Amino acid sequence: MSELFNEWLGNKSKIVLFDGGMGTEIIKRGISLGKLPDLLNIEEPDVISEIHGEYYNAGSDMVQTNTFGASMLNLQNHKLESRIEEINKKALGNIKRACPSGKLIVGDIGPSGVFKPPIGKATIEQWQSSFKKQAIILEDGVNLWHVETISDIEEMIAAIRAIKEVSTKPIISSMTYKHTKRGFFTVMGDPIEKCVEIQETEGASVIGANCTLGSEEMIDLAKELINHANKPVSIKPNAGKPRLEHGTKTVYDQLAEDFARDIKKMIDLGVKIVGGCCGTSPETIKAIKKLIQ
Amino acid sequence: MSNENLYQEISESIINLDKDKALELANSAIREGMDLLEVIEKGFGDGIRHIGNLWDEGEIFLPELMLGGTILQEALSIILPHLKEQSQSISMGKVVIATIEGDIHSIGKTIVGTMLSANGFDVRDLGADVPVHKIIEEAEEFKADLIGISALLTTTMIGQKKLIDRLKEKGIRSNFKIILGGAPVSAGWAEECGADGYAGNAIDAVKLVKKILDK
């Protein structure tokens, strides 16, 4: 099935529709995210499967597993390392039940939650070994990979190398950038052009950006990614900036139609894969689908 | 060297992330018997606020921001024991201070704790990323008069309200005065949470605590 993804990449007129956020969908169903949403693969498998299904039904060509936080190091942060196999396997089961034929399953890998010095004590070897443990389990059921929301290019290198140790499937490599007066940088200070160059050298199939920025701010970022990258580009912005309601609830106010209009602008610039991150929903994906049809 | 020049030199040592210089200046301020409260606020505090502005403007990034914070904390750890000698020996009251669960920002909270200590309060600093139940346990055990809770993220400031709600549920809200702080926190938010007050910086925090505890 990885061939299908490569076929999509090779087809000039095909825009690949990815999925949207998971957290807000879980909260909508009255379930608390708790410490780690990945644990819901075990505690609320039907809810997770239903959310995946809604994204496929809304028009997503591919949807990612609920395994953003299920790498070894991040599970250790939550004292859940002994459950790494159970969490990732259940996640595969939940998405397989929802995935219709002709559509794809993406193995999602998020940041480890630990930093290198001077902020933390992580080393590139620790990162790589942690991501590898997760990738070995997911390799069994995914068609391609999405490493996302990474803010340190060295951590991205570790993730790509870890995946390549156990898999030959395509990798979408998404960094998260901050918009500064001097341009787009990761919070660690890596400039966008340096990140793109390293991602391509390491063998990522698609160069991406996700989270932190809303759809409007992401348009300028998309321009830069397209300028610097030789590979196809993927974009998953947030639904604008969150706001606290009654001091207890995080709310994203942006309308799905406005988000979709920004996405359309990015597609016109040459972005190949589009979807959403925090605050986006199956409604957002439907709105994008409507505009790109 | 005039005091103002020394303050500026201290501030610059923080901005330049020059740890050796910052620690040397901390020691020399102690040797020269300077007013250490002013050294903290006008020297080190000024430097770390500059670092914060440089971060906001995208001139520096997380590694530099964290390094600045680490140097500041080392300098404060040199100054703090001497500051206690300078301050009143009778306790003005007991304060438990913490950054709320899920939030690792500790610099602002540490400065407030240091300033309160320097002003004669008995301060128990619980650090950052502290769960609500832990803060309550410590406050009860310490017989605190006041709890100060910092939150630097819009996503973690919910925890400040959670703490107050939890105290109400347990029927012990009136045992403690509560103040809130942190970049996204406002007087309006403090009121919405049912806190006793809010302060935007360390000096205001000291004034607020004195006022609330009637000192």
Provide the number of CB pairs (under 8 Å) joining chain A to chain B: 47
> What pLDDT sits at residue A210?
96
* Mean pLDDT (whole number) for A227-255: 83
**CB-closest option in B58, B67, B155 to A178:** B58
Q: Are residues B58 and A250, on separate chains, in Cβ contact within 8 Å?
A: no
| One-character DSSP codes across B69-123 | HHHHHHHHHHHHHHHHHHS-SS---EEEEEEBTT----HHHHHHHHHHHHTT-EE
- pLDDT mean across residues, chain B: 88
Q: For residue B87, name the pLDDT band (cuts at 50, 70, 90).
A: low
Same domain, B38 and B62: yes
pTM: 0.81
> What pLDDT sits at residue A23?
85
> What pLDDT sits at residue A52?
98
Among A44, A14, A10, A15, which Cα is nearest to A27's?
A44
CA distance B19 to chain A (A): 13
Minimum mean pLDDT range among A113-117, A165-169, B107-111, B120-124: B107-111
Q: Is A188 on the interface with B (CB under 8 A)?
A: yes
Residues A197, A231: Cα–Cα separation, whole Å: 10
Same domain, B54 and B149: no
Same domain, B82 and B116: no
Q: Read off the pLDDT of residues B35-60 as tens digits, 9 standing for 90 and up.
A: 888 898 889 988 988 887 888 788 99
Instruction: Report how many domains make up chain B.
Output: 2
Q: Are residues B58 and A244, on separate chains, in Cβ contact within 8 Å?
A: no
Q: Is A79 on the interface with B (CB under 8 A)?
A: no
| CA separation, residue A154 to residues A128, A129, B116 (Å) | 10, 14, 41
**CB-closest option in A189, A243, A247 to B61:** A189
* CATH number of the domain bearing residue B178: 3.40.50.280
Same domain, B179 and B117: yes
Q: Say if residue A1's pLDDT is above 90.
A: no
Q: Is A182 on the interface with B (CB under 8 A)?
A: yes
Is the pLDDT higher at B76 or at A14? A14
Same domain, B204 and B135: yes
* CATH number of the domain bearing residue B78: 1.10.1240.10
Q: Are residues B62 and A189, on separate chains, in Cβ contact within 8 Å?
A: yes
Among A280, A278, A241, which Cα is nearest to A260's?
A280
Same domain, B65 and B112: no
| CA separation, residue A242 to residues A27, A37, A289, B17, B156 (Å) | 15, 19, 24, 33, 13
For domain A2-292, the CATH architecture is Alpha-Beta Barrel (3.20)
**CB-closest option in B59, B63, B154 to A119:** B63
B186 contacts on A by Cβ (under 8 Å): none
Same domain, B101 and B160: yes
* Mean pLDDT (whole number) for B5-19: 95
Looking at B59, B86, B113, the residue that finishes a domain is B86
DSSP one-letter code for A110: -
Minimum mean pLDDT range among A6-20, A105-119, A264-278: A105-119
Looking at B64, B86, B108, the residue that finishes a domain is B86
Same domain, B191 and B133: yes
> What pLDDT sits at residue B1?
65
CA B44 from centre of chain = 13
Q: Are residues B59 and A182, on separate chains, in Cβ contact within 8 Å?
A: yes
> What pLDDT sits at residue A127?
98
CA distance B65 to chain A (A): 9
* Mean pLDDT (whole number) for B20-44: 92
Query: Containing domain of residue B180, as a range?
Result: 94-212
Same domain, B124 and B39: no
Same domain, B68 and B121: no
Looking at B41, B60, B86, the residue that finishes a domain is B86
Q: Read off the pLDDT of residues B139-156 as tens digits, 9 standing for 90 and up.
A: 999 999 999 999 987 778
Q: Are residues A188 and B62, on separate chains, in Cβ contact within 8 Å?
A: yes
Residues B186, B203: Cα–Cα separation, whole Å: 16
- pLDDT mean across residues, chain A: 94
Same domain, B41 and B134: no
Same domain, B109 and B46: no
